[in-house]
Amino acid sequence: MIERDFVSRSKMEFQIQEFISDNLKGVGLSYTKLQRTPLGEKIIIYASRPGLIIGGGGTNIKKLTKQLKKKFGLENPQIEISEVENVNLISAVVAERIANALEKYGTMRFKGIGHKAMADVLGAGARGIEILVSGKIPSARARTWRFYQGYLKKSGNAALTHVDTAYKVAKLKSGIVGIKVSIMPPNVRLPDDIKFKEPVIEEVVHPAAVAQEIKAEAAEVAKDSEIEQKAEAKEKKPRKKKKDEN
């Protein structure tokens, strides 16, 4: 059935995205898009560091292509790498940076890491950001730390469609730490952003008035032409010579 075909395709696309995100770590992966073409499946990977995905001489991308063929049965997968323009506005990249910093520096500097990431995002022009760090930080008892600044929608359709949200996991000695990053981009138009347009007033002219104006203009043109003709006739008329006085 058609419904089952759609479900199976969507499931395979989700599995491919999960597989790529698990295998490509530390490359600033934003998201993955799958397109079906007559030549085969086209996989577009958006990342902030495309050179790490390609590898020296294309070794990494060739290895990834073989793995996709073997695991998902793709006949001719074509992988395309696209670089992300502004990495500070992509929640997945920001969450990955926080996770890498926590794994590198530990839990004692988690506040500085959170505030730095928040400052970078707001400096890039974002409307608002919220960072949630959950786990055994900094003590042995698990709790959730919240970093937030700016304006961020938490409910409604705007929160689902306009807010970019990502989840990452940092593996520390004390245990696993979960990271959630939500960013509202700068070019979002919210439902309460209302602009009033100035009314345009058009004058409605009656046909009789238009005809009267046309007649008046024609009469003025005829009068002007008559005056010009009289002036020309007067200039052409010969002048009488005065008699000499004795």
How confident is the prediction for the chain on average, in pLDDT?
Answer: 82
**Residue 184 CB neighbour total at 10 angstroms:** 23
Fold of 88-184: Ribosomal protein S3 C-terminal domain (3.30.1140)
Long-range pairs for 5-14: beta carbons < 8 A, 24 or more residues apart: 12/72
Exposed/middle/buried for residue 132 (C-beta within 10 Å: 0-12, 13-18, 19+) = middle
* More confident: 222 or 118: 118
pLDDT digits (tens, 9 = 90+) for 41-99: 888 888 888 888 888 888 888 888 888 888 888 778 888 888 888 888 889 889 989 99
Q: What span, in angstroms and rounded, lies between the C-alpha atoms of 237 and 239?
A: 7
Residue 246 pLDDT more than 50? no
Give the CA dihedral 13, 15, 16, 17, nearest 10 degrees: 90
Among 23-32, 155-164, 200-209, the least confident range: 200-209
Amino acid code (one letter) for 218? A
Q: Rounded to 5 degrees, what are φ and ψ at 117?
A: -65, -40
**Contact yes or no for 127/150 (Cβ under 8 A):** yes
| pTM score of the predicted model | 0.68
**Contact yes or no for 29/23 (Cβ under 8 A):** no
Verify cis geometry, omega within 30 degrees of 0, for the bond prior to 138. yes
Residue 242 pLDDT more than 60? no
What percent of the chain is predicted at pLDDT more than 70? Answer: 91
Average pLDDT estimate for 181-186:
92
Residue 245 pLDDT more than 50? no
What local confidence, expressed as pLDDT, does residue 35 receive? Answer: 82
**Domain 2-84 identical in fold to domain 88-184:** no
Residue 17 pLDDT more than 90? no
Pick the CATH number of 2-84 from 3.30.300.20, 3.40.50.140, 3.40.50.720, 1.10.1660.10: 3.30.300.20
Q: What span, in angstroms and rounded, lies between the C-alpha atoms of 9 and 59?
A: 28
- pLDDT confidence tier of residue 205, bands split at 50, 70 and 90: low
Domain residue ranges in the chain: 2-84, 88-184
Residue 182 pLDDT more than 90? yes
Q: What span, in angstroms and rounded, lies between the C-alpha atoms of 91 and 86?
A: 11
